A and B are shown apart, each in its own frame.
Chain A
């Protein structure tokens, strides 16, 4: 485990404890005390303060470090012969992502991305429904993810400039990944943000898919959004949470509906909101991908496509209009 911050403590390390195919052998953090604390908490034998000290202790690395160093850390690990499973986003820029993929290919190692939402039953179900055509073609969709930001980051990297710190690349990575995974390529993008600094807190993205479907992704770190997905098909409307249990299928005219749980015959898909199980599922998928020499659920290439889409958003961004923000008139005596 490279980086012992909040996502390691709350996600990857509890996930590794219940994963079938992964044994956590060494924790690395520049703050060696923190690494030792996490070793004690999660029963891991070794703590190190630098990647250069992990030789022979691991054959796969989970990377959870600030976004701006994703590329350098990953390439370093790949060149040391480790397979790398990286916390989203793959990188801050698509160019970095391509360098990372090239490094993985050169080293003959697997590079995968943590996209836990693909393992959530509702999203997997939505993908199955789209692919099956059971309700006809998807005409439109809306993905929402947002809440008042309270993630207990240990390092304030999201406050740094040019560090991949905006909401588009943060939780947006999850939503863009789901959209590309479920609906395929994007034809065009319109993006509205509350800032041009790439430190946007709120964003709204309108997408036209190559399939002809239109969609909206709304993201926020300041407001509680519904954290759900709605897909309008020819004959029905599907609602699922972006994470956790539950689903609702409504008739087009809203006169009748079905409320229940998505069922998928896939052991990797997790039906509840248990983060450890979700993280374990994706770790096991990655370990299996390494063993079987196949692509992991979220490949490096899918991560590059995701970042390319985010870059398109930044290129095309327009200002959100907030009519309640008026200039403060100051006229002194």
Chain B
């Protein structure tokens, strides 16, 4: 089980956060032969190539290309989802792409097909619950979660009807080096504004350090994993407040605000004036985000966005110069959770990894303190802790 040196793996999402760490670990620690699906020369693709992965350029929906690319492969780790293009394209990539990959896996008789999904599929408008793999799951209105659920259904059907040796790994709150949503995002938000958490911030963060997820992905190659679904979470629970406090500590600032859920909803229905106040800082923060730039570039708004960004750049202090402090420092803008996940993010949902512990031997190793300590070392190196004063 611990010898992966002869493993031939095909990874979708290998240019991303979890998939990138898995790619690196498989190659550097075990000398495995890894092929990573890519759609362009991104920073993630460059890192995968640096680590020694073969890069396969094909759309996730191109079944014949996937059949060719996965010939002779032992295992497919499927982490990619529709992230670019419009909503319809994203849906197609996530769902039809999963179907194409499943068909390729079946044709090539791969030994393991591991699909990485999200615990968000279990949200059922509850405000408080302990979630296990037996909890009801399904679509609830957030495209990302709904499409991941639909893709899970594609995998489940193939397991049930076609004998796919598949496993579904559902992850939650994954943070760590290179993590966009739960690491780079909070650091940038806290740097740029006052981050609003619902109520008293006591909703659960279910923090999971990326290396614990990668451990689970290795463990999912066991026979006992086939046909099963596992929730993966870190060893300890933390509130969202504690989670964001860890990032505040890295930045050396205090930037959290707490508001009752209803007040957030009221304030989120912003006047145009409010949006105008938020836009410059928000766009500046987003414009340094790789995902945002990539997403904008692939839309018809790209020229307009470039123009707007340039106008905002002109208003900035020259980057090489230390500007004189303003006489009265402007209040940083409030940053609200996206409306679609507001109630989901406010719920006290405890995701239990007990099944993975019992069946796979999963041993989550990184407490929030340990995981954040490593994340901080990376964030400093990545220059993400140098927030504007």
Interface string of A245-265 (1 = CB under 8 A from B): 111101000000101000000
Q: By the criterion CB–CB under 8 Å, are B215 and A153 in contact?
A: no
Decide yes or no whether B211 CB sits under 8 A from chain A.
yes
Q: By the criterion CB–CB under 8 Å, are A333 and B43 in contact?
A: no
Q: A197-B52, A201-B46, A328-B29 are in contact. Are A333 and B360 (CB under 8 A)?
A: yes
Residues of chain B contacted by A222 (CB below 8 angstroms): 43, 46-47, 382
Interface string of B360-386 (1 = CB under 8 A from A): 110101000000001101100111000
Residues of chain B contacted by A228 (CB below 8 angstroms): 319-320
Decide yes or no whether B340 CB sits under 8 A from chain A.
no
Where chain A touches its partner, the secondary structure class is: loop
Q: By the criterion CB–CB under 8 Å, are B215 and A332 in contact?
A: no
Distance between Cα atoms of A200 and B218 in the complex (Å): 27
Residues of chain A contacted by B234 (CB below 8 angstroms): none
> Closest CB of chain A to B235's CB: distance in Å?
13
Distance between Cα atoms of A324 and B25 in the complex (Å): 13
> Closest CB of chain A to B37's CB: distance in Å?
13
> Closest CB of chain B to A159's CB: distance in Å?
4
Decide yes or no whether A55 CB sits under 8 A from chain B.
no
Tell which of A31-39, A128-136, A143-151, A173-181 binds the partner. Answer: A143-151
Q: By the criterion CB–CB under 8 Å, are A328 and B319 in contact?
A: no
Decide yes or no whether B359 CB sits under 8 A from chain A.
yes
Residue on B with the closest CB to A146? B383
> Closest CB of chain B to A219's CB: distance in Å?
12
Residues of chain B contacted by A107 (CB below 8 angstroms): none
Distance between Cα atoms of A166 and B127 in the complex (Å): 50
Interface size class of A (residues with CB under 8 A): 35 or more
> Closest CB of chain A to B18's CB: distance in Å?
12
Interface residues of B in 319-342 (CB under 8 A from A): 319-323
Residues of chain B contacted by A234 (CB below 8 angstroms): none
> Closest CB of chain B to A226's CB: distance in Å?
7
Q: By the criterion CB–CB under 8 Å, are A150 and B55 in contact?
A: no
Contact of A259 among B222, B293, B321 (CB under 8 A): B321
Decide yes or no whether A156 CB sits under 8 A from chain B.
yes
Residues of B within 8 A of A (CB): 1-2, 24-25, 29, 38, 40-43, 45-47, 49-52, 55, 57, 176-177, 211, 214-215, 218-219, 222, 224, 288, 290, 293-294, 297, 318-323, 359-361, 363, 365, 374-375, 377-378, 381-383
Residues of A within 8 A of B (CB): 122, 148-153, 156, 158-159, 161, 165, 194-195, 197, 199-201, 221-228, 239-241, 245-248, 250, 257, 259, 322-333
Can you list 12 pairs linking A and B with CB atoms under 8 Å apart?
Answer: A153-B41, A158-B46, A159-B38, A194-B50, A199-B49, A241-B320, A246-B319, A246-B320, A257-B321, A259-B318, A325-B177, A326-B374
Among all A-B residue pairs, the 10 with the closest Cβ atoms: A333-B361, A246-B318, A259-B321, A149-B43, A324-B374, A332-B1, A148-B290, A330-B218, A248-B321, A239-B320
